[in-house]
């Protein structure tokens, strides 16, 4: 049967080999099989048509690994089915998701063949044509576009996440700089997004893959430690559960255990941020007790059963009272429900126990889609997620925001926890944690927000900047004459309030903007500079403004005096005189294509060798992360300052790579470097007489390292110090750190991220 699908009717050329055709039908059948329960009569025919079109359209394309391109959409569809739990429409869209972007097929044709819904989703999955302005990021724009479609259909994001997951799984065959770009973009936006939608499994895998490609050594180290401690872990779980198994069964609870370890990325995070050793992470894994056999509709019974299990666990083991979390009574915003407690085991280690029902577990792992599956049984269940989606829609409504600003706002929303408050009538409102009376007012209505002058929280009069707490009942007081001010933006936290206030301010700012524009043009003319787009953009960069409007506004409001343009003129002339520095001429790339070319010119096909004098390309080492030879690094092409070298671990790397991945240049250190670099080392420990002498003895005496500064602070017998030293490379630095660690009383020695 499936033979028919994959016989393409071109006798001149066979695009797929026999083995490949077999593989395609195998994967296709797997998709249909996985979605059995959702597929209705007639669906199969449409899905097959989608496969045919996609196979034909992609027939001449191969992936970097050499496999036929069609494997990719097939795998994406399979992830949608098996790991997210989506149905036929999503399968069709997944199969066709790259067709409009990469082949001759148009959105119109898709609409004709599959209807408006499919076309709309695919439109959301298709990148915009690249004609972006210099100041904007195409990647951020694409992301915004994708989210705009999200407000009509969440499946856009779910399929995009499946697409990203498969790309991450197959990242091994990509070039190093693409790996970095894609990996950072993933950790910056896609993993948090998966988390927000409750797709825990996908989020964890994305994070692990990110680590695998950005910190391969660390990744390997942790995963081998995890597998070697597997038996010990199993023994601990068995011992822990032994007394519980019996009592839980006696109580009539039908259950099973999952004892999965933490994923590699979160262990790595703990290791790096808390500076503990692998062996000392006490919550390396959690024991999950999953209760079966309760009909999902009987929410009360589910809750009672979970608390019953909790009572048995804490009868047997002493709980840590600070670590009880009841996500059943108040589910998290991503829909997560579970009961968490941490108890002391007989082996003397803390063990986290998670108690939940099968339904809760499925939601915890598959998130959004699993939610919908149960929606029919109890419509109140998905309230938090719907609320969140509404918030996303609000963010999206603000189309004037620059794409990057939008992305930042959006990310802020992804990470935030929420606060539950009530209207005077007792309606529940879920706002972002830290929300103020003013946020609440804007959440109710823009007109109320605009006129808000104060609030009453639990009948007490409070200012509009008052931060709300869980359970607060809030009443808004308004006056006719109230006017929003810029000051408001300092304390509101919800994107809705921010967006609305900005809108209102923008309206009144228009006058200042046009005044500022006049001032600048006049002054430039005075100084004999033609106000070209290039000049304006340089001016914007010089005054560190994010766009022209902001620049004009600052002049219009006379926050910046017109005379300061003189300084810009001087700087500009000095710049032009500087030799060898790469300054990209913006006139040279009016469109994305020529910008791309310019970058290629700089990049060549080779890796930038840092410190190789033969290379004619100039670069500087980024101040934000202070790289030294031996660090994993990348080059980043800036508009005005040439190439900057950053560490892969730079605090800014995620932001740079996810917004401007096309400006990334492969870079590595030339082997023969005789230069030394300044790094800062932070150390702490127990203070004693002679400590500083010992430290400086190691540095200048034993290792003959040049020290530039040493500062030490002591309090209550503990000391914390910072040393600035010159080293040749990471090896040199490691030796120094090793020696310092050996000094009596020294507890930790770390390289500081910045100077």
Catalytic residues: 101-102
Binding mask 402-441 for Mn ion (x = CB under 5 A): ----------------------------------------
Neighbours of 425 (CB within 10 A): 6
Q: Is 75 in the site for Mn ion (CB under 5 A)?
A: no
Please, what is the minimum distance in Å from the beta carbon of residue 136 to Mn ion? 23
Determine contact, residues 627/647, Cβ cutoff 8 Å.
yes
Contact mark string toward Mn ion, 109..148, x via CB under 5 A: ----------------------------------------
Pairing verdict, β 339-344 and 318-319: antiparallel
Residue 516 or 661 having the CB closest to Mn ion: 661
Closer CB to Mn ion, 127 or 506, in the complex: 127
For residue 722, what are the contacts with CB-CB under 8 A and spacing of at least 6?
680, 681, 682, 709, 710, 711, 712, 752
CB of 205 to Mn ion, least distance (A): 17
Residue 558 to residues 151, 484, 529, Cα–Cα distance (Å)? 40, 20, 21
Least Å from the CB of residue 166 to Mn ion: 7
Minimum distance between the CB of residue 73 and Mn ion, rounded to whole angstroms?
7
Pairing state of beta strands 664-669 and 608-610? parallel
Nearest CB to Mn ion, comparing residues 163 and 185: 163
Binders of Mn ion among residues 688 to 747 (CB under 5 A) are: none
Is-contact 683 740, C-beta < 8 A? yes
Nearer to Mn ion, 70 or 501 (CB): 70
Q: Which stretch binds Mn ion (CB under 5 A): 19-27, 95-103, 202-210, 499-507?
A: 95-103
Instruction: State the number of CA atoms in the 13 A half-sphere of 434 facing the CB.
Output: 12
Stretch that binds Mn ion, among 91-99, 191-199, 225-233, 620-628 (CB under 5 A): 91-99
Q: Which two tokens stand for residue 362?
A: 């499925």
Among the listed ranges 97-105, 107-115, 260-268, 501-509, the one in contact with Mn ion (CB under 5 A) is 97-105
**Alpha helices, DSSP H only, in 543-628?**
548-556, 565-577, 592-603
For the bound state, the minimum distance from the C-beta of residue 98 to Mn ion, rounded and expressed in Å, comes to 5
Q: x/- site string to Mn ion, residues 148 to 167, per CB under 5 A?
A: ---------------x----
How many residues sit close enough to Mn ion to count as binding (CB under 5 A)? 2
**Could you tell me the smallest distance in angstroms from the CB atom of residue 171 to Mn ion?**
13
CB of 97 to Mn ion, least distance (A): 6
Q: Which is nearer to Mn ion, 163 or 443 (CB)?
A: 163
- The DSSP secondary-structure symbol of 34 reads H
Tokens, residue 352: 């986290």
Binding window for Mn ion (CB under 5 A); candidates: 7-15, 92-100, 179-187, 658-666: 92-100
Contacts with Mn ion, 160-199, as mask; x by CB under 5 A: ---x------------------------------------
CA nearest to 498, candidates 389, 386, 392, 398: 398
Which residue, 170 or 680, has its beta carbon nearer to Mn ion?
170
Cβ-contact 209, 173 below 8 angstroms: no
- CB closer to Mn ion, 98 vs 123: 98
Q: How far apart are CB 165 and Mn ion at their closest, in Å?
A: 10
Q: Give whichever of 98 and 631 is closer to Mn ion, judged by the CB atom.
A: 98
> Whole-number minimum distance, CB 368 to Mn ion, in Å?
20
Kindly report the number of other CB atoms within 10 A of residue 24's CB atom. Answer: 20
Asked if 89 contacts 118 with a C-beta cutoff of 8 angstroms, the reply is yes
Residue 401 DSSP symbol: S
Those residues whose C-beta lies under 8 Å from the C-beta of residue 692, and which sit 6 or more positions away, are: 710, 712
At residue 12, the 3 state secondary structure works out as: coil
Please, are residues 356 and 339 in contact by the beta-carbon 8 Å criterion?
yes
Coil, helix or strand at residue 616: coil
Q: Which residue is nearest to Mn ion (CB)?
A: 163
CB closer to Mn ion, 163 vs 398 = 163
Of 500, 620, 513, 640, nearest to 134 (Cα)?
640
The nearer residue to Mn ion, 105 or 284, going by C-beta atoms, is 105
65's CB contacts (< 8 A; 6+ apart) are 170, 172, 173
Residue with tokens 């010089």: 542
Q: Say how far apart CA 538 and CA 39 lie, in whole Å.
A: 57
Q: How far is the CB of 33 from Mn ion (least distance, A)?
A: 23
Determine, following the binding rule CB under 5 A, whether residue 361 of this chain makes contact with Mn ion.
Answer: no
Based on the shown chain and the rule CB under 5 A, indicate whether residue 98 belongs to the binding site for Mn ion: yes
State in angstroms the smallest separation of the CB of 160 from Mn ion.
Answer: 9
337/335 Cα distance (integer angstroms): 6
Residue closest to 162 by CA, chosen among 111, 205, 99: 205
CA dist., res. 344 & res. 368, Å (int): 34
Q: How does 88-113 read in b/e, with b if 16+ C-beta sit within 10 Å?
A: bbbbbbbbbbbbbeebebeeeebbeb
- The window from 98-106, 324-332, 672-680, 700-708 that contacts Mn ion (CB under 5 A) reads 98-106
CB-nearer residue toward Mn ion: 98 or 207: 98
| Distance separating alpha carbons of residues 41 and 650, to the nearest angstrom | 53
Kindly write down the DSSP assignment for every residue of 216-237, as one continuous string. Answer: HHHHHHHHHHHHHTHHHHHHHH
Angle made by CA atoms 94, 100, 104, in degrees to the nearest 5: 135
Interface positions with Mn ion (CB under 5 A): 98, 163
């Amino acid at each position: 049967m499936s033979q028919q699908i994959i016989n393409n009717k071109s006798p001149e050329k066979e695009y797929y080999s026999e083995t490949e055709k077999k593989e395609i039908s195998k994967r296709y059948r797997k998709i249909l099989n996985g979605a059995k329960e959702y597929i209705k009569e007639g669906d199969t025919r449409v899905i097959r048509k989608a496969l045919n079109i996609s196979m034909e359209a992609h027939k001449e394309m191969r992936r970097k690994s050499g496999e036929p391109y069609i494997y990719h959409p097939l795998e994406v569809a399979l992830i949608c089915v098996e790991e997210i739990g989506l149905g036929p429409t999503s399968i069709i869209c997944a199969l066709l998701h790259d067709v409009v972007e990469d082949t001759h097929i148009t959105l119109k044709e898709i609409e004709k063949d599959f209807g408006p819904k499919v076309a709309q989703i695919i439109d959301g999955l298709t990148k915009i044509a690249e004609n972006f302005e210099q100041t904007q990021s195409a990647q951020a724009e694409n992301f915004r576009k994708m989210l705009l479609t999200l407000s009509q259909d969440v499946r856009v994001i779910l399929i995009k996440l499946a697409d990203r997951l498969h790309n991450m799984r197959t990242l091994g065959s990509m070039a190093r700089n693409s790996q970095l770009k894609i990996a950072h973009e993933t950790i910056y936006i896609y993993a948090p997004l998966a988390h927000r939608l409750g797709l825990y499994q996908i989020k964890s895998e994305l994070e692990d893959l990110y680590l695998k490609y950005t910190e391969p050594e660390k990744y390997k180290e942790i995963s081998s430690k995890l597998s070697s401690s597997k038996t010990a872990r199993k023994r601990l779980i068995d011992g822990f559960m032994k007394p519980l198994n019996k009592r839980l069964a006696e109580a009539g609870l039908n259950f099973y255990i999952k004892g999965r370890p933490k994923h590699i990325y979160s262990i790595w995070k703990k290791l790096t941020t808390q500076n503990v050793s692998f062996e000392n992470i006490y919550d390396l894994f959690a024991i999950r007790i999953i209760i079966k056999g309760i009909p999902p509709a009987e929410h009360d019974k589910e809750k009672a059963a979970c608390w019953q299990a909790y009572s048995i666990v804490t009868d047997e083991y002493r709980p840590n009272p600070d670590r009880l979390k009841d996500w059943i009574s108040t589910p998290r915003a991503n829909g997560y429900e579970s009961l968490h407690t941490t108890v002391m085991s007989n082996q003397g280690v803390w063990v986290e126990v998670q108690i939940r029902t099968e339904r809760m577990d499925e939601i915890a792992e598959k998130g959004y889609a699993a939610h919908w599956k149960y929606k029919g049984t109890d419509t109140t269940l998905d309230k938090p997620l719907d609320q969140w989606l509404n918030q996303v829609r609000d963010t999206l409504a603000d189309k004037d925001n620059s794409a990057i600003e939008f992305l930042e706002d959006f990310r802020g929303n992804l990470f935030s926890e929420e606060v539950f408050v009530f209207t005077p009538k007792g309606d529940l409102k879920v706002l972002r944690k830290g929300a103020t009376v003013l946020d609440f007012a804007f959440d109710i209505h823009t007109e109320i927000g605009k006129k808000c002058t104060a609030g009453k929280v639990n009948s007490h009069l409070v200012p509009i900047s008052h931060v709300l707490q869980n359970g607060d009942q809030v009443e808004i007081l308004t006056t006719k004459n109230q006017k929003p001010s810029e000051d408001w933006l300092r304390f509101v936290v919800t994107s809705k309030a921010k967006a609305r206030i900005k809108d209102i301010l923008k309206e009144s700012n228009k006058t200042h903007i046009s005044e500022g524009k006049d001032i600048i043009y006049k002054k430039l003319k005075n100084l004999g500079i033609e106000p070209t787009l290039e000049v304006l953009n340089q001016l914007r960069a010089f005054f560190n403004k994010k766009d022209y409007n902001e620049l004009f506004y600052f002049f219009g409001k006379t926050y910046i005096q017109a005379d300061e343009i003189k300084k810009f003129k001087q700087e500009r002339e000095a710049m032009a005189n500087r030799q060898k520095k790469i300054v990209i001429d913006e006139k040279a790339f009016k469109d994305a294509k020529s910008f791309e070319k310019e970058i290629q010119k700089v990049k060549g096909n080779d890796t930038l060798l840092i410190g190789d004098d033969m290379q004619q390309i100039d670069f500087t080492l980024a101040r934000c992360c202070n790289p030294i030879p031996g660090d994993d690094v990348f080059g980043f092409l800036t508009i005005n300052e040439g190439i900057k070298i950053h560490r892969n671990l730079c605090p800014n790397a995620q932001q740079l790579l996810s917004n401007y991945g096309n400006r990334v240049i492969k870079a590595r250190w030339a082997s023969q470097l005789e230069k030394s670099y300044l790094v800062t080392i932070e150390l702490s420990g127990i203070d004693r007489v002679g400590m500083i002498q010992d430290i400086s003895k190691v540095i200048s005496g034993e290792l003959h390292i040049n020290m530039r500064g040493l500062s030490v602070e002591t309090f209550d017998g503990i000391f914390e110090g910072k040393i600035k030293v010159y080293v040749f490379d990471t090896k040199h630095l490691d030796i120094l750190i090793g020696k310092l660690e050996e000094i009596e009383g020294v507890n930790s020695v770390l390289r500081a991220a910045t100077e």
